[in-house]
Amino acid sequence: MIDGRKVLFSGMQSTGNLTLGNYLGALKNWLTLADEYECYYSVVDMHSITIRQDPAELRKRARNLLTLYIAAGLDPEKTCIYYQSHCSAHAELAWILNCFTYMGELNRMTQFKDKSAKHADNINAGLFTYPVLMAADILLYQADVVPVGADQMQHLELTRDIAERFNNLYGDVFTIPEPYVGKVGAKIMSLQDPEKKMSKSDENPNGSIYLMDDADTIIRKCKRAVTDSVGEIAYRDEQPGVKNLINIYSACTGKTPEETVEEFAGKGYGDFKAAVGESVISILRPLQEEYGRLSKDKAYIDQVIRQNAERARHTSYRTLRKVQRKVGFPDRLS
């Protein structure tokens, strides 16, 4: 807790292009959390290299993502927006926590199994210990809460287990983080396979709407969205494609699914898809314009990077020094 406010940590990988799902499901909700919590929002570029990356492209995407955080409305004066790789405490604490994590625990991580299947030619140790680095990310800032989706809940449970194990040995060192249980962001599914979540790594470019897609592209993707032969705009599981479009429209307009269904009663899928596309354009246009403006202001973004990295280091090193002393490392004299 900092100045009477609980601490919240979250981050996104600097790989691929952020989708509408990332925005509506996470980034948009981060804005409201800054008023309630002391927030640390990281560009987790260290996690990104568990998969081979083009170095120049990774640097570019990391900067683009940090700029998008700000363009979306996050205030770098109120929240700490920083590159994970600019704070070496993440790697230092991860090594220590590796020594307090059991192989059996990591073997049970389902994401390791999933990613190993996708990248069978590069099953590296970093991919295996990825959850320990995630634990270090969270515990460094004594985070009270962490917004996580269902796919990351297993990692948060491991983080809690590691923290409790360490505390049982050395005293009250780490805050035990809880999953954030506030307003749940909209769960946006693929436009081409509504049984799967919209993903920035989707091999089908028509399955995802990217935050930088232009208006024509957004309309085209919405028109191509998978629906069904029922021909009725109804909010039910038996029509996953239509239900997904309703969720998108509702999230973009602030209407409930029931209000959306009522609005389009008696209308065809073509009219509805066009309206969904226009609603997406309306919420992405201000973000795209602000992103374009910020991208040209190199001095400002560089200043944010420097100042926020210093803030992250100041907070994280307090925890790291305490941990190092607990495990018996010599005091640093400088």
- 10 Å CB burial of residue 283 (0-12, 13-18, 19+) is middle
Q: CA-CA distance, 166 to 144, in Å (whole number)?
A: 17
β-bridge mates for residue 146, sequence order: 179
Q: Enter the tokens of residue 113.
A: 């199994």
Q: CA-CA distance, 121 to 198, in Å (whole number)?
A: 25
Residue 38, H or E segment: strand 38-43
β-bridge mates for residue 10, sequence order: 41
Q: CA-CA distance, 332 to 316, in Å (whole number)?
A: 16
Q: Enter the tokens of residue 218.
A: 């957004």
Contacts of 300 (CB under 8 A, 6+ apart): 294
- 10 Å CB burial of residue 51 (0-12, 13-18, 19+) is middle
Q: Enter the tokens of residue 120.
A: 């069978």
Q: Which of 28, 200, 255, 326 is catalytic?
A: 200
Q: Which of 197, 221, 243, 273 is catalytic?
A: 197
Sign of CA dihedral 153, 157, 158, 162: positive
Amino acid at 142: Q
Q: Enter the tokens of residue 260.
A: 């959306």
Contacts 24+ apart (CB under 8 A), 225-230: 225/191, 225/192, 225/273, 225/276, 226/191, 226/192, 226/193, 226/194, 227/269, 227/273
Which of 87, 77, 85, 73 has the alpha carbon at shortest distance from 294? 73
User: Active-site residue 200, yes or no?
Assistant: yes
User: Active-site residue 296, yes or no?
Assistant: no
Q: Enter the tokens of residue 313.
A: 């280091």
Q: Give the active site residues.
A: 115, 197, 200
